[in-house]
Chain A
Amino acid sequence: MFGVQERYDVPSSPAVVIKGPPGNRRGRRAVIGNKSGATALPDTVVMTGLLVAVAEKRDKDAFAKLFAHYAPRIKSYLMRQGANQASADELSQEAMLSVWRKADRFDANKASAGTWIFTVARNLRIDALRKERRPNFDPEDPAFVPEAEIAPDHALEIGQTQVRIKAAVATLPPEQAEVIRLSFYQDKPHGEIAEELGLPLGTVKSRLRLAMRRVRTALGEKE
């Protein structure tokens, strides 16, 4: 078992004053709730539209909707990763604040809102719960090797990507789905997952590879 993080140090940031609840926000939330027709669109398209509105128009109503959808998911994700309730509450607010601050880096052609917000939560978790840095590549790096132009007919729409991934996940063989879920929801190295399942490490790794291959194939890569 991983240790449950009992406390978490607030990352050093400029003092942030939390004001009292400013006015009645509930009314505002209700207003943005239901635009006719919006419910017919898949969630991922709606959420991505909201995130674009935050990035382009600094739209607080859109942000409130994103918060209502994602803050409870970030909290759940963090608690599964070993955060206690208090730090999960605090960190999910921090994560959503990061979403607001970094929204201009979101590229709707590259990821869905859910995927991008996941990466924000993931990075915050590694920093705050695991107290490690997360090395990442940087396209501005002089040593960066850029991709060749993607042929347009090979590029999938992001909405389509998520739909296909959803279908691929739903049809994963149970033993592959199990290792994918375990490694996603718990911050455990493959060796610990193997121990927990009573499997050789090589089996866990090959199941992860097979699951990844299915996802890659579902997204149009040749086998």
Chain B
Amino acid sequence: MNASHHPSDDLLWSYASGSLDEPSSILIATHLALCPACRGVVAKAESLSGELFEDIQPLDVDASALDSVLARLDDEDDEKFETVPQISDAQHDALGVPRPLKDYLPNELGNLPWRWLGPGVHYSAIETQARGPKVGLLRIAPGTKVPMHGHSGNEMTMVLTGGYTDATGSFQRGDVEAADDGLVHQPVADKGEECICLVVTEGELQPTGMIAKVLQPFFRI
């Protein structure tokens, strides 16, 4: 089944034009692997970028530049292209971790360094070379209620396994939810399967309910 909650066009534009930060790009690229519709939007945004690129005021390059590049072509095997790495085992794993995310994980999902955050909830941070938002995986046991919380900055969530529901709707594999400053929500993981989400956070999460206040350290992810 294809995703039904998509990232907004301004995010897809930023990804296509190349101004989106790396942590958010991991989430967008992972969504794209699962969502043909958004790949179509990105292709259009790239065509728009291509148009602006064609339109740019060209700057003179040194007259010798072409010669030195041509000389480097001569050093290469003319018939050979840079080989594209192929996955040898093309076995279709519909529920696997999409490649853009997998490339950042040291292990299978089950064997990541999961940190306990609260009852039924674990978190594992993903390392990037980038400044900017934090990115990591949230693992929620089936049926668990995540304490009510608000946001001090933007947060983006994408479901990898299982699903969850909050006041704004139901989110399944591939679905993206963007929460901004205003949103206060209480996601509940669907019963039956563990819910693993990719989460990009800009600000601190702000617990609002009483229980959440007790669990405040929980939110320091």
Interface residues of A (CB under 8 A from B): 16-22, 25, 29, 43-44, 58, 60, 63-64, 67-68, 71-73, 75-77, 79-80, 88-89, 92-93, 96-97, 100-105, 110-112, 114-119, 121-123, 125-126, 130-138, 140-148, 161-162, 165-166, 168-169, 180-181, 183-190, 204-206, 208-209, 211-213, 215-216, 219
Contacts and interface: CB of A to CB of B under 8 A. Distances in A.
Which 7 pairs from chain A and chain B are nearest by CB? A115-B50, A72-B58, A147-B36, A135-B29, A141-B99, A208-B10, A212-B9
A216 B87 contact: no
Nearest to B18: A122
B66 A143 contact: no
B61 A72 contact: yes
Interface stretch (B38-46, B138-146, B163-171, B184-192): B38-46
Contacts of B82: 101-102
A201 to B, nearest CB: 9
| Most chain B beta-carbon neighbours within 10 Å: one of A17, A212, A213 | A212
State the majority secondary structure of interface residues on B.
helix
Contact of B8 (A44, A103, A105, A209): A209
Interface of B: 2, 8-10, 12-14, 17-19, 21-22, 25-26, 28-30, 32-36, 39-41, 43-62, 64-76, 78-79, 81-82, 84, 86-87, 89-101, 103-104, 128-130, 174
Contacts of B19: 183-184, 186-189
A65 B64 CA distance: 15
Nearest to A147: B36
B25 A135 contact: yes
Contact of A19 (B18, B74, B130): B74
B34 A143 contact: yes
B9 A208 contact: yes
Nearest to A219: B44
B48 A114 contact: no
A143 B96 contact: yes
B87 A142 contact: yes
A182 B44 CA distance: 18
Contacts of B51: 114-115, 162, 165-166, 169
B81 A104 contact: yes
Contact of A212 (B41, B66, B96): B41
A67 to B, nearest CB: 5
Given A142-B90, A212-B13, A184 B49 contact: yes
Given A21-B64, A21-B71, A135-B26, 13 more contacts: A25-B66, A76-B58, A76-B59, A104-B81, A105-B84, A135-B22, A138-B100, A142-B91, A143-B93, A143-B94, A144-B98, A209-B8, A219-B47
A135 B103 contact: yes
A150 to B, nearest CB: 9
Nearest to B90: A142
Contacts of A138: 33, 99-100
B53 A22 contact: no
B74 A133 contact: no
A135 B91 contact: no
Contact of B69 (A97, A104, A131): A97
A67 B44 contact: no
7 contacts: A16-B75, A22-B74, A111-B47, A147-B40, A165-B50, A184-B17, A205-B8
Pick from A63, A88, A118 the residue with the most CB of B within 10 Å: A118
Chain A CB within 10 Å, residue with most, of B18, B28, B45: B18
A183 B90 contact: no
Contact of B46 (A44, A96, A119, A144): A119
A22 B75 CA distance: 12
A71 B65 contact: yes
Nearest to B103: A135
Nearest to B57: A76
A100 B64 contact: no
Nearest to B8: A209
A148 B40 CA distance: 12
A125 B18 contact: yes
Given A101-B82, A181-B52, A212-B41, A96 B69 contact: yes
